[in-house]
Every structure is written in structure tokens, then in C-alpha cells.
């Protein structure tokens, strides 16, 4: 299917209406369960963008939404505010990201307890990116040294449902793909109930990782992380920093689409096809990295059969 899409984008015969993107997919399987990731705003403009994004995507009835923590823990307070506001204003089940970066164990657990007090019992527990101005994670002298330690502490409270990160492409600091899987198993054994993966560009990447996890005895759900491509240049650079493999054909595809002013259409088609391949292989849940921009995620979900749920009272 990927090659068929590529051929379509290399010919002028492809004249699909942008308002009829659902025609990209046929013979669909059952619509997936979805979840969404947002990041906390750092400005008034960013706040409006976040709330507009949540407003557009909330009617898709996601299983949960998550709010990131910011590199080096830089948005700790903003994350807390966004999590509690989204939950109270939109009635969504919100999971807060929590990391080990630049905080003592007591400070980290205090943040967790503040979430519990606010009724937020879902946490995405992560080691976190290095603190600002550094290129390597260094634990706080009185902090958690790893995500496993953080998960054990959070699990010990009995108050939280914990999800963790996973890496279909080898994590930049991992010595091997097998080491990534082994570490994921440690996180699950420490108390996590599910994992959400880093984004990837080809279904085979996730499927190989899923097979390795099954072989290692991991039975917890592993939810593929999906990144609709808003800007190929920025996405490519981000992928390089994350260690995500970039297929060469994507450069060619977006070069052609950019020249023809069809990048958005290509992004929607590729993301929809990626999701479709995963669903065909038994995947039931998809986690979308929205980048606080709703249109592509909304369009892909629509093509997958995930549409807004309208109460009868709203149409009476």
C-alpha cells in the first residue's frame, strides 16, 4: 500500500479532493480506541492553541489524554495546571507526565500526591530528558535515579494507574534493541500497566518490537505512538535526536509533495495507512502526538472511522 501511495504522489493523475480524505482507506477494520497527547502552553497564544486543540478533538472520545512535562522538567507547574483544567473543563480522563529530572524524591512524590488530591490518578512515568543546558541525564543527588525507581515508588502508593515509554527504534542511550526490551520489562514488573511507544514511520518497526516484547514475556498492552507529520523538516530533525529511523523514501515523497503543495494530503495519507497496517495486525489502541494542532489528527481519525460522538440531546 505504501508503494501505491508513493506512485500516486508521483503522477498528476492523483486528483483526490482534500475534503474527501476518507477515500484513502477502504475495507477498514473496526475503528480503534484512541488516546491523545498535548503539551502545556508557555504563552497566552499557546494557551488558546491548546484549548482549541482539545475542543476540536475531545468529541472523538479518547480513552485518555496525556500532558507532557517539558524537556528537563521545565513545564512542571504548567503541566499541573493543564492537566487539572483539561480534566475539569472537558471531562476527559487525563494522564500527567511525571519525570525524575531536577527534583528530589520528596518533591516528585509531592507532585504525584497533588495529582491524586485533584482526582488525577493516571500518570505517564518517565525518566525524562536531560535538564536544560546538558546533554546527559544526571540524577538529582536526592532524586530518583531511573524511571524504574520512580515507578516502584508511585506503584507503592496504590493510588495510580501507570503508563511508561517504549522504544521501537533503539533508544539513543541503549546498547541494543534487546536492552530496550529488557528495560521495558523491568518497568512493567515495577508496576506499570501499559506502555506508549516513541513515534515511528513504518508499521514493521512497531511489529518487530511487539514480537520482541512478547518473546521477553511482556504481556502488558503496548500502544503505538503515532505522529501526524505537520512539518517534515522539523519532524525529521526531531526523529534524528530521538534515534527514530527515517526511511529514505520519505525525503523523496515530501520533496515532491512540497513542490506540488500537497504535503498535508501526503501526511494524512501516510499516517492513515500506517495506522491501517497496525490495525490489520491486531492493534486496537493508537496514541496520537497532536503537537497541539488538531487538524491532521482529526482527519486521520475520521479516515479510520473514529468520529465525534454526539449526544441525542445535542441534535434534538
Q: In this structure, is residue 15 part of a structural domain?
A: no
In a domain, 312, yes or no: no
What are the Cα distances from residue 100, in Å, to 103, 138, 274, 295?
7, 10, 32, 33
Name the pLDDT band for 242 (thresholds 50, 70, 90): confident
Q: How far is CA 295 from the centre of its chain?
A: 16
Domain contains 315: no
Average predicted confidence (pLDDT) for the chain: 87
Q: Is residue 164 part of a domain?
A: yes
Our measurement of the distance from residue 73's CA atom to the centroid of its chain's CA atoms, rounded to an integer in Å, reads 18
pLDDT band for position 17 (cuts 50, 70, 90): very low
In angstroms, the CA 177 to CA 200 distance is 15
Write down the pLDDT at residue 289. Answer: 98
**Hey, which residues does 67 pair with through a beta bridge?**
38, 96
Give the model's confidence band at 154: pLDDT under 50 very low, under 70 low, under 90 confident, else very high.
Answer: very high
Instruction: Calculate mean pLDDT across residues 155-164.
Output: 97
Residues designated catalytic? 37
SS3 for 237-272 is HHHHHHCCCCCHHHHHHHHHHHHCCCHHHHHHHHHH
Mean pLDDT, rounded, for 247-275: 95
Q: Can you read off the three cell numbers belonging to residue 277?
A: 497496517
Q: What is the separation of C-alpha 189 from the centre of its chain, rounded to a whole number of angstroms?
A: 22
- Please report the pLDDT score of residue 10 as a whole number: 45
Q: List pLDDT tens digits, range 220-236.
A: 999 999 999 999 999 99
Compute the residue count for the chain.
316
Rounded CA gap, 215 and 210, in Å? 9
Q: Quick check: pTM over 0.85?
A: yes
Count of domains forming the chain = 1
Q: How many angstroms separate the CA atoms of 38 and 225, rounded? A: 13
Domain span including residue 44: 2-7+22-305
Q: Looking at residue 194, what DSSP letter applies?
A: E
Distance CA 74, CA 90 (A): 25
Minimum mean pLDDT range among 50-59, 90-99, 123-132: 123-132
How far apart are the C-alpha atoms of 102 and 131, rounded to whole Å?
A: 7
> Would you say residue 12 lies in a domain?
no
CATH number at residue 275: 3.20.20.220
- Please report whether residue 17 resides in a domain: no
Please list the alpha-helical segments (H only) found in the chain. 2-8, 44-57, 76-90, 105-117, 147-157, 177-190, 203-215, 232-242, 248-259, 263-280, 294-303, 312-315
**Does the residue 176 lie in any domain?**
yes
User: How far is residue 196's CA from residue 97's CA, in Å, rounded to a whole number?
Assistant: 12
Backbone angles phi, psi at 198, to 5 degrees: -60, 155
Pair 166, 242: CB distance under 8 Å: no
Residue 191 lies in a domain: yes
Question: CA-CA distance, 121 to 282, in Å (whole number)?
Answer: 28
Amino acid at each position: 500500500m505504501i508503494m501505491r501511495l508513493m506512485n500516486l504522489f508521483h503522477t498528476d493523475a492523483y486528483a483526490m479532493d482534500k475534503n474527501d480524505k476518507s477515500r484513502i482507506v477502504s475495507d477498514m477494520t473496526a475503528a480503534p480506541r484512541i488516546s491523545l497527547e498535548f503539551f502545556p502552553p508557555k504563552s497566552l497564544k499557546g494557551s488558546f492553541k491548546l484549548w482549541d486543540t482539545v475542543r476540536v478533538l475531545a468529541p472523538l472520545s479518547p480513552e485518555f489524554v496525556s500532558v507532557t512535562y517539558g524537556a528537563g522538567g521545565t513545564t512542571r507547574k504548567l503541566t499541573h495546571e493543564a492537566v487539572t483544567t483539561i480534566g475539569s473543563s472537558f471531562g476527559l480522563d487525563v494522564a500527567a507526565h511525571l519525570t525524575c529530572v531536577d527534583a528530589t524524591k520528596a518533591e516528585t512524590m509531592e507532585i504525584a500526591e497533588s495529582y491524586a488530591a485533584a482526582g488525577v490518578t493516571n500518570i505517564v512515568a518517565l525518566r525524562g530528558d536531560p535538564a536544560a543546558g546538558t546533554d546527559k541525564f544526571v540524577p538529582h543527588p536526592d532524586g530518583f535515579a531511573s524511571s524504574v525507581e520512580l515507578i516502584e515508588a508511585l506503584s507503592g502508593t496504590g493510588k495510580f494507574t501507570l503508563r511508561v515509554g517504549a522504544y521501537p527504534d533503539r533508544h539513543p542511550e541503549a546498547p541494543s534493541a534487546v536492552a530496550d526490551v529488557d528495560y521495558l520489562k523491568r518497568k512493567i514488573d515495577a508496576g506499570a500497566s501499559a506502555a506508549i511507544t516513541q513515534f515511528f514511520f513504518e508499521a514493521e518497526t512497531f511489529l518487530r518490537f511487539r514480537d520482541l516484547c512478547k518473546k521477553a514475556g511482556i504481556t502488558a498492552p503496548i500502544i503505538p505512538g503515532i505522529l501526524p507529520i505537520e512539518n517534515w523538516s522539523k519532524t525529521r530533525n526531531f526523529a534524528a535526536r530521538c534515534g527514530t529511523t527515517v526511511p529514505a523514501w520519505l525525503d523523496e515523497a515530501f520533496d515532491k509533495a512540497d513542490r506540488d503543495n500537497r504535503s498535508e494530503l501526503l501526511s494524512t495519507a501516510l499516517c492513515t495507512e500506517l495506522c491501517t497496517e497496525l490495525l490489520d495486525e491486531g492493534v486496537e489502541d493508537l496514541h496520537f502526538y497532536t503537537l497541539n494542532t488538531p487538524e491532521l489528527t482529526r482527519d486521520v481519525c475520521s479516515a479510520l472511522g473514529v468520529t465525534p460522538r454526539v449526544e441525542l440531546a445535542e441534535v434534538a
